[in-house]
Amino acid sequence: MAENADRFDARHLMELFKRGLINEMPAELGPIPIVDTPPSVWEDLVRWNVVDNSTFQFTSDAAKLFSGLVSYEWALWGVVLHNNQRRKVEARLPEEFRQYGVQYAIRDIPRDTFLIAVKGTGITTIVSVAGGHLEIGYDEARSSSQVFEHVARIVERIHSPDKDKQWAPYPIKRVSVPWVVSSSLATERTNDPEALSKSVKATTRGLSLAGMTVKTTKTIEELLQQDNVANVQLCLTVSTPTGRVTALNNSVGVMFFVGEYEGYAVSYPRRSADGSLWITYEPGSVEAVVTGIAAMRDGLGFAPKEDIRTS
């Protein structure tokens, strides 16, 4: 007989889906196999006051909590990479998952996936962490005009590599580079000094060949040389009458650094008057994340048709 759980995990989400309480599994969190769930999973949901065992429906508090999963207006989603925690990982997953080989999808760099779903002024946040556990919470912005700022503060709070630490803006100058240059220079992060030196030199040479200014080149070079403890990538999806819409090459990056200077930086996309895509890098702040969210909203509207994806 399966034991009752002490934490909400993917099996509980599956149980809600199978009983029709949520209309789909959140694909934004990555693939979650649909497996048989033992009776103890429903018992957990009753015990936690998520569902009413007499009506088989959400309790009033849980209905609000899960409303963003049922039907959001727009959402941020993506992945957090904890770069400095790279190690050999032992797969500790519910036994039901192993028959599907989920243990082989675990990477040597620990990562969390997340969904921040917005409906009106309500914000549902769900984070998938190691072991299949899910952390879910609900916030309410004071007004519709403050939703972006509230979401930005959630991004700051839940995706920091040190949840109790107040991260300062990383002291860089605000610079922009063409997306084609940024993407071509993207390399896998390495802790090997020799490999890092070669990567930085190649990047510097590439930026110079692309005609970037000395200020821009030095700023990007500095970021590449720092101890980048964690990276967050934020993507945007908007619900429309024809489906949920997202766009390629339309994401915000949040990068956390330690070393001589500690802080975080933000990158986001912008289109110039001729339609070409540029990536801006600037010191991290709530305002910078808000600017990034707004830039993604604009980017969705201006993206070429071939870059639009509807689900």
Nearest to 302 by CA among 274, 282, 263, 260: 274
Whether residue 68 is found in the same domain as residue 203: no
75 is a domain residue: yes
242 is a domain residue: yes
Whether residue 137 is found in the same domain as residue 190: no
Which residue did the predictor score with more confidence, 132 or 277? 277
**Residue 121: pLDDT band with limits 50, 70, 90:** very high
164 is a domain residue: no
21 is a domain residue: yes
Give the Cα separation of 20 and 10 in Å (integer): 15
Total Cβ atoms within 10 A of residue 27: 13
Q: Supply the range of the domain harboring residue 86.
A: 10-158
80 is a domain residue: yes
Interval 108-118 mean pLDDT:
82
Residue ending a domain, among 158, 183, 218, is 158
Give the Cα separation of 255 and 251 in Å (integer): 13
Query: What's the pLDDT score for residue 261?
Result: 86
Whether residue 149 is found in the same domain as residue 262: no
170 is a domain residue: no
Interval 68-87 mean pLDDT:
79
pTM of the model: 0.84
Whether residue 32 is found in the same domain as residue 135: yes
Domains: count for the chain: 2
Give the Cα separation of 22 and 32 in Å (integer): 15
Q: What is the largest CA-CA distance in the chain?
A: 69
Whether residue 232 is found in the same domain as residue 301: yes
Whether residue 22 is found in the same domain as residue 143: yes
Query: What's the pLDDT score for residue 280?
Result: 95
Whether residue 26 is found in the same domain as residue 88: yes
Whether residue 94 is found in the same domain as residue 225: no
Tally of CA atoms within 13 A in the half-sphere of 48 that contains its CB: 18
Whether residue 139 is found in the same domain as residue 272: no
Helix-strand-coil split of the chain, %, nearest 5: 35, 30, 35
**Residue 1: pLDDT band with limits 50, 70, 90:** very low
Whether residue 148 is found in the same domain as residue 266: no
168 is a domain residue: no
3-class SS of residue 98: helix
**Which position has the token pair 């005609």?**
211
Look at residue 196 and tell me whether its pLDDT is greater than 60.
Answer: yes
pLDDT averaged over the chain?
84
1 is a domain residue: no
Whether residue 142 is found in the same domain as residue 180: no
Look at residue 88 and tell me whether its pLDDT is greater than 60.
Answer: no
Q: CA dist 302 to 270, 277, 307, Å?
A: 10, 10, 10
Residue ending a domain, among 131, 158, 185, is 158
Interval 134-153 mean pLDDT:
93
Look at residue 284 and tell me whether its pLDDT is greater than 70.
Answer: yes
Whether residue 148 is found in the same domain as residue 284: no
Interval 86-107 mean pLDDT:
55
% of the chain with per-residue pLDDT over 90: 45
